[in-house]
Amino acid sequence: MTTLVVATLSAREVRRRWAALALVIALPFWFYLVRRDATGQSMRMLTLGIGWAISTLTLFVVNASRGVDPRLRLTGASVVSIIGGRLLAMTGVGVALAAGYWLLAWLDQDVLHPWAAALMMLVSAVVAAPLGSLIGALLPRELEGALALLSVVAVQMLADPAGLTAKLMPFWSAREIGTYAVDGGSAEMVLHGLAHAGLTWLICAGGTLAVFQWRLRLARYPEP
Amino acid sequence: MTDWPQAFEAELLRLGVQPGRARRLADETAQQAAETAGVPAEIFGPAHLYARHLVAELSAPAALSPRTRYEPGPVMLSLTGVSKRYRRQTVFTGVDLTVRGGEVAAIVGANGCGKSTLLRICAGLTRPSGGTVKRTRRVGFVPQDGGTAGWLTAEEHFTLFGAAAGMVPGRARSTGVHLATRLAWRPGRQQRAQQMSGGTRQKLNLVLGELHAPDLLLLDEPYQGFDQGTYVDFWQQVFAWRDAGRAVVVVTHLLHDLQNVDHVLDLGER
């Protein structure tokens, strides 16, 4: 039950940060708008924008909870329920954002495989939440975290998609699925993308959990 | 400072002094100040503190009459030879403290002597470098600042902390609101923590620390931002917890309430 309560209240917190929420919603739109004339580029930029927006929002939510988490642990909550609840909420926000933008792209662009385009945006949103969470766990200050995310997205944007550097970046999966969605080709690209996304999710979620297990550990004292 | 006598009289009334007697005491105090041609605030200090001091002095004989005081209960917290070092810097060493149910302990000392660190060690949030800590399982911790989520309302905090303690949301909210009224606070339904005054946020902090009915309460200067009335209510609440059999450890730098606590641990003297 704690997980659901944390998820519900985290989502409510995000909803109340309406200025940040408006910027998060708008960010992928600007990415999309500048390359609207080219379907492939606009879809890839849009997807990367969704990933960047959700990971940054998650980073801020994780940092804002820093003072509450130790007290929740002391009151009896497990680390899994705290971190899991927050990831659940931010993934939900990401999926909603991806769904909205998929509808826009479906109406506005001529995409070869619309279902794959939906999957591309979904993968980006689902990977973004634990990525933001992990950066927030490793870099406790918002500025440092935001700059780290900016670096990740910039490298992802500029690296040669066929090279090793791009494959080591967290949003390579969305790009791979996007190539199939827009240009067609082998369906194996979707499978590769999904495998990459799954592995990235596991690393980021597992890393977040490991950092917070250590940071929120309580000394176990014997009873008098 | 012209309203010092009025503030003094109002505080006497708040503390339960009869109106006629309060007026007489206020007049006498003003007269004493006039005799020395001084300003009351400079001679006696803040009106509310002097009023409380005077009431304590006047009621001292009454303290000899049997007051309901319970036998100390089982040990809730035991520190033996506890020390803390950060790299090569020793914060404190050899701290011993035993607090039983029905007792209040105060940790005092100068800034930077490790009061908050010791309280975090008691909570289990920080590990001691040496020594032995034994502690009851159910503990409530109220930090000096922070500890709340700025975008959530008080009732949402009650739901969140209640869920952590295994309480259903409805019960957590009603318990939280009930505890808040004991601190003379009615939580606003729409007001978020970041919109609360410093004192109100500390009341929220206190309620969250007590929400799951812990046996041991660890309070780190929780009265920051309280007005004088709330400050008095706070100490009355501390003694109510004590009388209910709970153990309370308070970090404080204000020394004028220590006469009523059972143990004083001065980290500055170590």
Among A220-224, B44-48, B96-100, the least confident range: B44-48
On whether any CB of chain A is under 8 Å from the CB of B76, the answer is yes
Inter-chain Cβ pairs, chain A and chain B, closer than 8 A? 92
- The pair phi, psi for residue B142, each rounded to 5°, is -120, 110
Reported as half-sphere exposure (CB side, CA atoms, 13 A), residue B60 has a value of 7
Q: Name the residue among A55, A83, A67 with its Cα closest to residue A146.
A: A55
- Whether domain B117-269 has CATH 3.40.50.300: the reply is yes
Check whether A194 has a pLDDT greater than 80.
yes
- B51 CA: distance to closest CA in chain A (Å): 37
Q: What is the pLDDT of residue B52?
A: 65
- Could you tell me which chain B residue has the CA closest to the CA of A63? B149
Q: Which residues, in sequence order, are CB contacts of B61 under 8 Å at separation 6+?
A: none
Alpha helices in B36-168 (DSSP H): 40-44, 47-58, 115-123, 154-164
Contact, B213 vs B138, CB < 8 A?
A: yes
List B residues 81-120 in contact with A (Cβ-Cβ < 8 A): none
- CA–CA–CA angle B42, B200, B218 (5° rounding): 90
Instruction: For residue A121, give the amino acid letter.
Output: M
Instruction: For residue A25, give the amino acid letter.
Output: I
State whether A12 and B123 contact (CB < 8 Å).
Answer: no
| pLDDT tens digits, A56-75 | 999 999 998 988 999 999 99
Contact, B135 vs B122, CB < 8 A?
A: yes
| pLDDT tens digits, B126-174 | 999 999 999 999 999 999 877 899 999 999 999 999 999 998 888 889 8
Q: Name the residue among B197, B163, B162 with its Cα closest to residue B177.
A: B162
On whether any CB of chain B is under 8 Å from the CB of A163, the answer is no
List A residues 24-83 in contact with B (Cβ-Cβ < 8 A): 64-65, 67-68, 70-77
How far is CA B142 from each of CA A63, A142, B12, B169, B198, rounded to the nearest angstrom?
A: 20, 25, 30, 21, 14
Q: What is the pLDDT of residue B60?
A: 45
Q: How do the domains of chain B map onto residue ranges?
A: 4-64, 117-269
| pLDDT tens digits, A62-120 | 998 988 999 999 999 999 999 999 999 999 999 999 999 999 989 988 888 999 999 99
Q: How far apart are CA B208 and CA B231, in angstroms?
A: 18
Confidence tier at A201 by pLDDT (50, 70, 90) = very high
Q: Name the residue among A6, A149, A71 with its Cα closest to residue B145.
A: A71
Max avg pLDDT among B18-22, B69-73, B194-198:
B194-198
- A165-199 residues labelled b (16+ CB within 10 A) or e (exposed): ebbebbbbbbbbbbbbbbeeeeeebbebbeebbee
Confidence tier at B69 by pLDDT (50, 70, 90) = low
Q: What is the pLDDT of residue B2?
A: 56
Chain B residues whose beta carbon lies within 8 Å of the beta carbon of residue A68: 147-149, 160
Confidence tier at B41 by pLDDT (50, 70, 90) = confident
On whether any CB of chain A is under 8 Å from the CB of B143, the answer is yes
Q: What is the pLDDT of residue B67?
A: 43
**B95-99 mean pLDDT:** 94
State whether B165 and A67 contact (CB < 8 Å).
Answer: no
Q: How far apart are CA B109 and CA B252, in angstroms?
A: 8
Check whether A157 has a pLDDT greater than 90.
no
| pLDDT tens digits, A27-62 | 999 989 888 888 888 999 999 999 999 999 999 999
State whether B152 and A75 contact (CB < 8 Å).
Answer: no
Instruction: Output the six-digit token pair for B222.
Output: 């929780």
Q: How far apart are CA B25 and CA B27, in angstroms?
A: 5
Contact, A149 vs A136, CB < 8 A?
A: no
- Could you tell me which chain A residue has the CA closest to the CA of B146? A67
**B81-107 mean pLDDT:** 92
Q: Which residue has the tokens 């634990």?
A: A130
Q: How far apart are CA B221 and CA B257, in angstroms?
A: 13
The mean pLDDT value of chain B amounts to 83
What is the ipTM score, two decimals? 0.88
Q: How far apart are CA A76 and CA B165, in angstroms?
A: 5
| pLDDT tens digits, A168-185 | 999 999 999 999 998 888
Percent of chain B with pLDDT strictly greater than 90? 37
Instruction: Output the six-digit token pair for A145.
Output: 């975290």
- A218 CA: distance to closest CA in chain B (Å): 5
DSSP-derived 3-state class of residue A163? coil
